[in-house]
């Protein structure tokens, strides 16, 4: 039985019109887009679930903050507002704004990584992996085994496999490990949370071998909410207390504020207490992003992040947000549709391999489902599977991904219960005709990050 939808803890003050094209029009549009959802015009999409990043609805308080933005080049009031908010929430000494998450990675990673070095993570997000490699190092994923079975329900499928981590450190040599990264929540594994206990164990290993520990903090508030729900020790703690506890185990963090700070643009670097490292960060930031007190953002953006950091920590909001996904997941349970379970924080990752057992990985089941969702209901999603993974850089052969997911990423405070019903109904309708859905072949692809630009066609 479907569970109840948690009502929105806000009312709507401003709306944006969306329209749905006819089925024939959608079929035409996706064909013209060469069956690549990134090639669609946003106005041809009815419910846009391509990403939860920067697609959030800001509050009336944030919009008022925008009007108060101090645009001074140096020492703006909005900079101090942001630094004070972040210091208060994370309890770190040094805070550096940057324009988005990958900018934080670009500024920080070259200081700690270089040729011959490794970075190990519970799972790297694509751009994070790219910045490890751009710095000359190699990126290794080390997530717990239970993350790899979508149907297996476990409370913390985002965790690091600590035994494997220690083994890797010993094999590769502790002096060659430049950085350990904990991604909270674990996006690539399905928005799955990491427990505080796991943070503690990872931190103890990092201390033992003297390796810096970084948090990839994009969805830190959602992670804290899951900890409160699922980790006995924290059931009476506030979201802020849990956040401070999680961050106390790391040395630094990189953060895309486009997620849990509920803004459209922004990012942060935090350093717990290492002043020497902060000095180096300031140097890189001035070269790549802009002066220290604006870091590639307008004053108004700094102000919106400062306010949004607190709004993202509000427990009523988090209950509603995670509740939306649990509502959708319970409808899928009733219909026997498999997904990375239990549902994660920022999206639901549908197991397209289970939906289309007749489509092999090299015909991209996750992409096939993404195309069907657009044709069925004008919903835009993306493949998180072999299509996204691409080819082996040495042999040029298609790689086989651990999962074949289609991700429905949910923008914050944007869609209502009726939109969630449409998502469930569309997935159920596709499941009913699943055996007639065809796989895809690539007709053109660029050499790197191909999924953003490739052309495809259905295999008849
Ligand atoms: N780290 C994680 C865990 C992310 O999910 C993202 C972005 C980044 C870093 C990079 O941040 O986009 O601000 O530069 N994830 C988005 C997504 C794009 O759709 O999952 P950014």
Ligand 1: distance of its center to the CA of 2 in Å?
31
Residues 114, 211, single domain; the answer is yes
Binding site membership of 218 for ligand 1 (Cβ less than 6 Å): yes
CATH number at residue 389: 3.90.1150.10
- The answer to whether residue 394 scores a pLDDT higher than 90 is no
Do 417 and 301 sit in the same domain of this protein?
A: no
Q: Which atom of ligand 1 is nearest to the CA of 103?
A: 14
- The verdict on 89 and 192 lying in the same domain is yes
Residue 392 clears pLDDT 90, i.e. is over it = no
Residue whose C-alpha is closest to residue 128's, from 100, 106, 113: 106
452 is catalytic: no
The predicted pLDDT at position 396 comes to 87
- Flag whether 114 is in a domain: yes
**Which residues are CB-neighbours of 154 under 8 A, at least 6 positions away?**
146
Give residue 314's pLDDT: 98
pLDDT band at 337 (very low <50, low <70, confident <90, very high): very high
Query: DSSP E strands: which ranges in 79-136?
Result: 94-98, 118-121
Given a cut of 90, whether residue 1 has pLDDT beyond it is no
| End-to-end CA separation in angstroms for the chain | 38
**Is the CB of 53 within 6 Å of ligand 1?**
yes
Q: Which two tokens stand for residue 367?
A: 């992409």
Where does the pLDDT of residue 82 fall: very low under 50, low under 70, confident under 90, or very high at 90 and above? very high
Q: Is the CB of 51 under 6 A from ligand 1?
A: yes
SS3 letters across 320-361: HHHHHHHHHHHHHHHHCCCECCCCCCCEEEEEHHHHCCCCCH
pLDDT at 402 over 90: no
The DSSP element (H or E) to which 302 belongs, if any, is helix 299-311
- 420: annotated active-site residue: no
Q: What is the mean pLDDT of the chain?
A: 97
Structural domain that includes position 214: 61-312
Please tell me whether residues 224 and 370 are part of one structural domain: no
Rounded mean pLDDT of 208-235?
Answer: 98
Buried b vs exposed e over 279-294: b needs ≥16 C-beta within 10 Å?
ebbbebbeeebbebbb
DSSP bridge pairs for 118: 138, 177
Q: Does residue 259 contact residue 75 with C-beta atoms inside 8 Å? A: no
Residue 340 lies in a domain: yes
Has residue 391 got a pLDDT over 90? Answer: no
Q: What is the pLDDT of residue 88?
A: 98
Q: Quick check: is 141 catalytic?
A: no
Q: What is the pLDDT of residue 185?
A: 97
Residue that is last in its domain, among 312, 331, 366: 312
Can you give the pTM of this predicted structure? 0.97
pLDDT tens by residue, 121-165: 999 998 899 899 999 999 999 999 999 999 999 999 999 999 999
* Rounded mean pLDDT, 55-65: 98
Q: How confident is the model over 12-37, as pLDDT tens digits?
A: 999 999 999 999 999 999 999 999 99
Single residue among 290, 312, 334 that ends a domain in this structure = 312
Neighbouring C-beta atoms of residue 131, cutoff 10 Å: 26
Domain limit, last residue, from 312, 334, 359: 312
Q: 149 and 282 in one domain?
A: yes
Q: List the CATH number of the domain containing 228.
A: 3.40.640.10
Q: How confident is the model at residue 175 (pLDDT cuts 50, 70, 90)?
A: very high
Residue 216: beta bridge partners? 183, 254
Please give the pLDDT value at position 449: 81
Same domain, 178 and 297: yes
pLDDT tens-place string over residues 350-371: 999 999 999 999 999 999 999 9
Q: Do 286 and 347 have their domain in common?
A: no
Q: How confident is the model at residue 407 (pLDDT cuts 50, 70, 90)?
A: very high
- Measured from the Cα of 102, ligand 1's closest atom is 14
Considering the domain architecture, whether residues 101 and 38 belong to the same structural domain is answered as: no
Catalytic residue among 103, 218, 426, 434: 218
Q: What is the pLDDT of residue 73?
A: 97
Q: Are residues 324 and 368 in the same domain?
A: yes
449 alpha carbon – ligand 1 mean position (Å): 14
Supply the pLDDT for residue 412: 98
| pLDDT in the model for residue 194 | 98
Residue 225 makes CB contacts below 8 A (sequence gap 6+) with: 239, 315, 318, 319, 322, 345
Q: Is the pLDDT of residue 393 over 80?
A: no
- What's the total number of domains in the chain? 2
Ligand 1 atom nearest the C-alpha of 267 is 13
Distance 433 CA to ligand 1 centre (A): 33
Specify whether 126 is catalytic.
Answer: yes
226 is annotated as an active-site residue: no
Give the pLDDT of residue 200. 98
């Amino acid at each position: 039985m479907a569970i109840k939808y948690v009502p929105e803890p806000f009312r709507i003050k401003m709306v944006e019109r969306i329209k749905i094209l006819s089925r024939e029009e959608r079929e035409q549009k996706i064909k013209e887009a060469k069956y690549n959802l990134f090639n669609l015009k946003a106005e041809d999409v009815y419910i846009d679930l391509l990403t939860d990043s920067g697609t959030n609805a800001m509050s009336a308080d944030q919009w008022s903050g925008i009007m108060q933005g101090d645009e001074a080049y140096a020492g703006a009031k909005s900079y101090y507002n942001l630094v004070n908010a972040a210091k208060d929430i994370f309890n770190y000494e040094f805070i550096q704004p940057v324009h988005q998450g990958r900018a934080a990675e670009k500024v920080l990673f070259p200081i700690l990584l270089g040729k011959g070095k490794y970075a190990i993570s519970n799972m790297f997000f694509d751009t994070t992996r790219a910045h490890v490699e751009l710095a000359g190092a190699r990126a290794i994923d080390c997530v717990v085994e239970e993350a790899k079975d979508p149907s297996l329900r476990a409370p913390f499928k985002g965790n690091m496999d600590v035994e494997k981590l220690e083994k890797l450190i010993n094999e590769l040599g502790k002096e060659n490990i430049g950085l350990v990264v904990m991604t909270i929540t674990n996006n690539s594994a399905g928005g799955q949370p990491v427990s505080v206990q796991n943070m503690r164990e990872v931190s103890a290993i990092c201390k033992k071998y003297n390796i810096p520990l970084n948090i990839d903090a994009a969805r830190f508030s959602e992670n804290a909410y899951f900890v409160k729900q699922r980790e006995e020790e924290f059931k009476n703690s506030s979201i802020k207390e849990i956040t401070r506890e999680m961050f106390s185990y790391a040395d630094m963090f990189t953060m895309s504020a486009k997620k849990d700070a509920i803004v459209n643009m922004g990012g942060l670097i935090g350093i717990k207490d290492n002043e020497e490292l902060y000095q180096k960060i300031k140097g890189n930031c001035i070269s790549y992003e802009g002066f220290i007190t604006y870091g590639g953002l307008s004053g108004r953006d700094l102000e919106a992040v400062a306010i949004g950091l607190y709004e993202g920590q509000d427990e009523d909001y988090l209950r509603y947000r995670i509740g939306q996904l649990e509502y959708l997941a319970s409808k899928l349970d009733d219909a026997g549709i498999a997904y990375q379970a239990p549902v994660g924080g920022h999206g639901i990752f549908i197991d397209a391999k289970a939906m289309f057992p007749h489509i092999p990985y090299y015909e991209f089941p996750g992409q096939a489902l993404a195309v069907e969702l657009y044709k069925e209901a004008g919903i835009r999603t993306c493949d998180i599977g072999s299509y996204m993974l691409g080819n082996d850089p040495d042999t040029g052969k298609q790689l086989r991904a651990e999962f074949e997911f289609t991700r429905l990423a949910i923008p914050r405070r944007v869609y209502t219960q009726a939109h969630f019903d449409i998502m469930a109904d569309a997935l159920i309708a596709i499941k009913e005709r699943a055996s007639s859905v065809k796989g895809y072949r690539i007709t053109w692809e660029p050499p790197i990050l191909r999924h953003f630009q490739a052309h495809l066609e259905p295999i008849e």
